[in-house]
Amino acid sequence: MANDPVSHRRPPTWARIVIGLLLAVVSAVLLTLAFPPYGLWPLIWVGFIPLLIAQYRVLPRQVSSLASAVAVGGWLGGYLIPIFGGSGTYMVGLPLVIGVLSFLFDRGARAFHQRTGYCWFVLQGTAAWVGIEMIRSFVPIMGTWAFVANTLYNQAWLIQPVSVFGIFGLGVLVMLVNYTLGLGALWLFDRRWRPDAEISSPDARLVRRWLVGVGGVLVAWVVLSLLLLRPATTPTVRVAALHLDDGGPPLGRAVSQFEAQTRQAAQQGAQLIVWPEGSIDGDPQEERSADFQALAAETGAHLVLGYVVDVEDGLWRNEATVLAPSGEFLGVYGKDHPVVFGGEMNTSLGIYPVYETPFGRLATIICYDLDFTDTARRMARNGAQIIAVPSHDWPAIAAKHYTHLVFRAVENRVAMVKSDGSGNDSVIVDPYGRIVERAVTPGGEEVLLVADVPLGTGDSLAVRLGDWVGWLCLAGLAFFIVLDPVTKRKARRDALSERTAE
C-alpha cells in the first residue's frame, strides 16, 4: 500500500552484506574502546547493538551469523593480538577460531527467535554470552581475560554486587542491557524498513516489558551497589609493593635493588612488603637465608618473597614465601595456575596457606592466578584478609592485567597488593575494589608504592557460593541448545497440521 509506513524494498544482496559487515565492525570497535587502555566504559552497555541489527535484520538470513563472527572475532583480535602476539600462534589465531565458532554457533539463532516470536531473545543472548564466558574461565590460557565486566573495573560505585553475584553477575547485567536495547532497536527498525517481508517484528508489549523490567533490574543493581559501598571499618595495614624495572628476564633479578626498595618502604612505615614474582633465583629458605632474615629483622616488616627454582630439563618451580621479622619462614605457596608451556610447574597443588600475622591474616597468589576466580576465593575461604600478589608482566598487558585484581578484591572482600618486577603494573586495592595506589608504567620504571589499606573480611556471598551465576548461565546455554530443535519439530508439526486442515 502507498501509505504503508514500513518499506519492504529488498536491496541487493551485496549491499546488505556490506552494510551488515560494517555494522559488525562498528560493534567490534565499540567493544575494543570500552576496554583498557581506552577505558570508554559506557560503550560496553551499547556495544552489541549494531551487531544485533546486522545479524537479525540487515544481513541475508543464510549468512546472518557473519555479524557475530566479524564483531566478536574482530574485537578479540584487537584485544588479544597486541598483548599476546609474541606468545605464539595460539593466541594470535584464537580470535579467528572464536570467530569461526561464533559463525557456526549462531547460524540458527535468527530462525529460532523468528519461530519463538522473540520471547527468548534477551534471555538466550545473555545466557549464551555469559555461559561461554564461564567455559572460557576453565581454559588455562584464558581465565577472565576479555570478560565484558572487566570494562567497569574503575567504577567502584557500580561493581559492589559482584560480592554477591560474582563477576559473572555483572556480565549478566551488561548483556541484559545490550540485548534489551537491541530488541528495542529491532522493533524500531521494523517500523521503517523490513528487507525481508517474511520477518515478523517483536511484539510492542514484549519490548516494553523487557525495557521496564531490565531498567528496574539496573536501578536495583545500582542501589544495592551504593548500599554495599561503605567506608571500611576494619583495621588498616601499611603495605608496600616494589615496582622495579631491572631490564632482565624472569630469572636472576637484581636482589640488591629490591633490598634497597625494601629499606625505603620500611622507612615509610610499611609492615608488609611484597617482592615481585621470581625476583630471587633460588629458594631463599635454602640460599642466602641469613641475608634475607637480617633484612626482615632490620626493617621489622613481613616480606613476601617471590622466587624460582630450577628443577630439571627446563622446568622450574614458581613459588612465594613469607618471611617474618623474627626470621621465621611462615610457609610456601606454589603458583596455582602455572604457565606450563613456559616450563612452570607446581609441586604443591591444592595447598592454599593463610598466615597469621600481627596485622591480620595474609595469603599469597602469583601473577596469572589473579586471572581466575578460584585461587583468591580459596584463600578467602581459608580466612585471608589481605592477599599479596607477586607478578612479572610484560608491557603490552600493563594497562589490562591489574584490572582483574579489582574483581578478585570485591568478590572476596579482601585487600590485594600486586608487585610487578618488570616495572609494568603494580597496584594496591582495598576490599571494595577501590584502587588506593597504582603504577602503570609500560616498559618499566622504578616506583615504590606505599599505602594504608583496610583489611578485608572475606565473608561475601561470592566466597561461599562461588561462580553460581556463571553455572546458571552455563545451564541456560545448554537449555537453549536443547530448546532449538524442540521448537523446530513443533514448527514442522504445526505446518503439517495447517496443510492437513486445508
Helix or strand or coil: residue 439?
strand
149 contacts 467 by C-beta, under 8 angstroms? no
C-alpha grid cell for residue 360? 591480620
Helix or strand or coil: residue 293?
helix
Written as tens digits, the pLDDT of the chain (502 aa) is 444 456 556 778 888 999 999 999 999 999 999 999 999 999 999 999 999 999 999 999 899 999 999 999 999 888 877 776 655 555 667 777 788 888 888 888 999 999 999 999 999 999 999 999 999 999 887 899 999 999 999 999 999 999 999 999 999 999 999 999 999 999 999 988 877 767 888 999 999 999 999 999 999 999 999 999 988 889 999 999 998 875 444 444 578 889 999 999 999 999 999 999 999 999 999 999 999 999 999 999 999 999 999 888 778 889 999 999 999 999 999 999 988 766 787 877 788 999 999 999 999 999 999 999 999 999 999 999 999 999 998 888 899 999 999 999 999 999 999 999 887 899 999 999 999 999 998 887 889 999 999 999 999 999 999 999 999 999 999 999 999 999 988 888 877 777 776 6
CB atoms within 10 A of CB 152: 26
How far CA 198 is from CA of 5, 13, 114, 188, 190, in Å, comes to 16, 16, 10, 17, 12
pLDDT at 8: 58
415 contacts 455 by C-beta, under 8 angstroms? yes
Nearest to 74 by CA among 129, 32, 23, 107: 32
pLDDT at 470: 97
pLDDT at 250: 47
42 contacts 174 by C-beta, under 8 angstroms? no
Nearest to 379 by CA among 408, 359, 403: 408
pLDDT at 248: 47
Residue 390 pairs with which residues in a beta bridge? 419
Residues 6+ apart with CB under 8 A from 360: 235, 237, 385, 386, 455
| Neighbour-count burial of 305, counting CB atoms closer than 10 A to its CB (0-12 exposed, 13-18 middle, 19+ buried) | buried
CATH fold label, 236-464: Nitrilase/N-carbamoyl-D-aminoacid amidohydrolase (3.60.110)
H/E element, 323 = strand 315-323
pLDDT at 313: 78
- Residue 258 CA to chain centroid, in angstroms? 31
Nearest to 274 by CA among 346, 354, 344, 364: 364
How far CA 259 is from CA of 24, 26, 263, 291, in Å, comes to 52, 50, 6, 10
Residues 6+ apart with CB under 8 A from 376: 365, 369, 370, 387, 408, 411, 412, 414, 416
364 contacts 371 by C-beta, under 8 angstroms? no
C-alpha grid cell for residue 492? 514442522
pLDDT at 341: 67
454 contacts 434 by C-beta, under 8 angstroms? no
Helix or strand or coil: residue 318?
strand
HSE of 107 in the Cβ direction (CA atoms, 13 Å)? 6
pLDDT at 491: 80
394 contacts 383 by C-beta, under 8 angstroms? no
pLDDT at 251: 46
pLDDT at 188: 94
pLDDT at 3: 45
Which residue ranges make up each domain of the chain?
A: 13-229+467-501, 236-464
Q: What secondary structure does DSSP assign to 358-412, as a single string?
A: TTEEEEE--GGGGGSHHHHHHHHHTT-SEEEEEE---GGGHHHHTHHHHHHHHHH
Residue 319 pairs with which residues in a beta bridge? 307, 334
Report the predicted TM-score, pTM, of the whole model to 2 decimal places. 0.92
CB atoms within 10 A of CB 262: 25
